[in-house]
A = this chain, B = another copy of it.
Amino acid sequence: MAKIKPGKNTSKKEVIIKSASVLFRTRGFSAATMRELAEAVGVEAPSLYNHIGSKSEILQAICFKVANAFNDQLAAIETQQVNTISKLEHIIRFHIQMMMNYYDEVFVANHDWKHLEEPYLSNFLMQRRNYEKRLVAIMEEGIRKKECKNLNPFVVVLTMLSAVRGLEFWQRHKKNISVKVLEDDMVNQLLKGITAK
């Protein structure tokens, strides 16, 4: 019978969480069962509880891992001494890369955060709101310095965030379009539009 095989630096808990990310993405958190997760890991369901506390705890681990990654990267970009358009470009590219490299985790964080329990739910939502506000602040600076059009900064930021989030639908076109074309064309469209001059 198959055992949990942790790699060099991955604990069994991390293996379970990675499997759960894939399972939760495909089935959704509520529809996914611990028995399904156990089968994916290669173990009986009760054995999972030697490594994790509960189903909900797994969701917490996934959501906050993603949230932390985005927060850390934004903090780094905020301190950069470059113009606003460059900052926005960096952010867009980072979102795209997160989507490519941590597809399952980002998807789950985007879709199933509502199933977090308190106080994790409130904490997560607070972090999201804060993230949006920091992006809006960047955009507002760009407008002030006349680098950006005078559009509603909230609209711009959420349009950008939504657009990159839409990369969820891209996994199935992954083979047809290179990541470079994807990144460049998306940055181009969001920052400069699609209308020919």
Q: Which residue of B lies closest to A176 (CB)?
A: B154
Give A167 to B146 CA distance when docked, in angstroms. Answer: 27
Give A147 to B194 CA distance when docked, in angstroms. Answer: 9
Main secondary structure, interface of A, reads: helix
CB-based contact B28/A194 at 8 Å: no
Give A56 to B181 CA distance when docked, in angstroms. Answer: 40
Contact residues in B for A115 (Cβ distance below 8 Å) = 28, 31
Which of B161, B182, B188 makes the CB contact (< 8 A) with A149?
B188
Q: Is A152 an interface residue (CB 8 A)?
A: yes
Which of A158, A159, A166, A192 has the most chain B CB atoms inside 10 A of its CB? Answer: A159
CB-based contact B196/A148 at 8 Å: yes
CB-based contact A159/B154 at 8 Å: no
Contact residues in B for A185 (Cβ distance below 8 Å) = 151-152, 155-156
Q: Is A62 an interface residue (CB 8 A)?
A: no
Shortest Cβ distance from A153 into chain B, in angstroms? 10
Give A51 to B122 CA distance when docked, in angstroms. Answer: 38
Within 8 A of B (CB), among A5-33: 26-28, 30-31
Give A166 to B163 CA distance when docked, in angstroms. Answer: 7
Give A37 to B127 CA distance when docked, in angstroms. Answer: 31
Q: Is A111 an interface residue (CB 8 A)?
A: yes
Within 8 A of B (CB), among A181-197: 181-182, 185-186, 188-196
Contact residues in B for A169 (Cβ distance below 8 Å) = 158, 161-162
CB-based contact A146/B196 at 8 Å: yes
Q: Can you sample 26 A-B contacts with CB below 8 Å?
A: A28-B30, A28-B112, A28-B114, A111-B111, A148-B195, A148-B196, A151-B185, A151-B189, A152-B177, A152-B182, A154-B173, A154-B176, A155-B177, A156-B185, A158-B166, A158-B170, A159-B163, A159-B189, A161-B169, A162-B162, A162-B166, A162-B167, A191-B195, A192-B193, A192-B194, A192-B195
